[in-house]
Structure formats: C-alpha cells, structure tokens
C-alpha cells in the first residue's frame, strides 16, 4: 500500500491550507427493482464513490458493476455516494439510504473519512461515526467492505497516528473486509488524477476497480 498521500495531490504543501471539501450534492436516486438472482451492492461514500468530475458511467460504482459482470456475476452496484459527505453526514443518512433500497443489500461498500481528514476533524470523531455506521450495518446483518483513507502528511504525525489506524481497527472489530487505501497506486500518478489532484479520472477509477474487484467478488461469492 502506498503510504504517501502526496503533496501534489490530496495533500497541499505545508504552508497552504487543506483544500476545501467538495460541496455536497443531492442524495442519490432510488434504485430500480431487481431480478431475484441479481446481487445488490450499495456503494456508500463521498465524492470518490459519487463520481465527481466524471460521467456517471465512468464512476466507481458503474465501473465496479461492469468489472463484476465480466467475472460472471449478476450484480447491481447502487451509487449512494454524496460529494462532500463527512462521516457525520454519512451517519445521518445511512439508515435512510438502506431503507430506500428495493431490498436488503448483499454487501455495502463503505468509503468515508476523506473529507473529515481534509477539514482536520478530530480522528476520535471520525472513528466514532465510522463505528456507529458499522454497528448499524451489523445490526441489519449486512456484510461490509471498508475502503480506507490515509492522512495527508502536512497534517502531522500526531494526526496521522490517530487517523490512519481507524479503518484497520474497525475492520477487525466488525469483521469487515478492508481495502486499506482507496487511492492506492493512483494518487501518486498525475496521469490517473483529475486536475484538482484530489479525485481520480476515469483511468484512475479503473485502476481502483482493478484493485478491489476481486475482494468484492470473493465477498459476494462467499
């Protein structure tokens, strides 16, 4: 896993303020009814899931659905990403998003925390919100794949030391599969990022999908 959340991307140089989070957009639309033999995955996260700056058919959920289909799986990946969401905002809307699905999902991909980090929100609060979401999913008996984040270096070692372990710790506690860093091997390559240096372009999203699709497929087939 790449441990550099580099200053050319999500992390600005030490004499600059962290980039403001993307403004929150409207909640995702309700998915259509599903065939009985189709697996349902909900991708619940922020702009990295929502598809900020790319076409919807190039977004992470759309590309993941295609990749799973290429593996012979009948899967609908519902895009429940909202740009700008913090973990607190995600916690507020999680139950509503789950209740709005046509049925209980077979799997939830949970990817939040990046906006907390960019805003310098206390890692203790991030951990508490993430844990509350995992408890809600556990209560509903829904399997989870957690996609992690890494703190930008300019936030300092103390912040990183409290933020970075959140995802590994909670994955172990709640028996969730973990993809440690959503932008692994992507954020360090400008050719895979949008000009803002924060979000992946379609090729970067494809690389993320190539890294995580086997994990998701194994979870669905398990």
Domain ranges of the chain: 44-221
Q: Does pLDDT of 17 surpass 50?
A: no
Q: Does pLDDT of 203 surpass 70?
A: yes
**Quick one: average pLDDT of 85-109?**
98
Q: Does pLDDT of 99 surpass 50?
A: yes
pTM of the model: 0.87
At 150, give phi and psi (nearest 5°): -125, 135
16-20, 71-75, 212-216: segment of lowest average pLDDT: 16-20
List the catalytic residues: 47, 196, 199
Tokens found for residue 145: 């794949």
Instruction: Look up the CATH architecture of domain 44-221.
Output: 3-Layer(aba) Sandwich (3.40)
Q: Cα–Cα distance between 98 and 166 in angstroms, integer? A: 23
Q: Does pLDDT of 70 surpass 80?
A: yes
> Are the C-beta atoms of residues 54 and 17 closer than 8 Å to each other?
no
Q: Does pLDDT of 21 surpass 80?
A: no
Q: Does pLDDT of 146 surpass 80?
A: yes
Q: Which ranges in the chain belong to alpha helices (H)? A: 47-50, 60-70, 87-99, 114-119, 123-139, 157-163, 165-173, 202-221
The pLDDT mean for the chain works out to: 89
């Amino acid at each position: 896993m790449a441990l550099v959340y580099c200053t050319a991307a999500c992390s600005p140089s030490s004499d600059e303020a962290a980039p403001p989070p993307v403004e929150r957009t409207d909640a995702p639309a309700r998915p259509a009814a599903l065939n009985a033999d189709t697996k349902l995955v909900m991708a619940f996260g922020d702009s990295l899931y929502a598809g900020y700056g790319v076409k919807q058919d190039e977004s992470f959920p759309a590309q993941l659905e295609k990749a799973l289909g290429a593996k012979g799986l009948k899967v609908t990946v519902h895009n429940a990403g909202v740009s700008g969401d913090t973990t607190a905002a995600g916690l507020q809307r999680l139950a509503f998003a789950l209740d709005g699905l046509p049925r209980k999902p077979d799997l939830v991909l949970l990817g939040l925390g990046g906006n907390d980090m960019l805003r310098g929100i206390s890692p203790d609060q991030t951990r508490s919100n993430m844990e509350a979401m995992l408890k809600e999913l556990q209560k509903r008996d829904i399997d989870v794949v957690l996609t992690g984040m890494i703190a930008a270096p300019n936030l300092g070692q103390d912040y990183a030391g409290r933020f970075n372990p959140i995802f590994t710790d909670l994955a172990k506690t709640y028996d969730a599969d973990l993809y440690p860093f959503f932008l692994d091997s992507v954020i360090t390559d400008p050719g895979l990022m949008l000009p803002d240096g924060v979000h992946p372009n379609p090729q970067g999203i494809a690389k993320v999908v190539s890294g995580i699709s086997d994990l998701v497929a194994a979870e669905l087939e398990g």
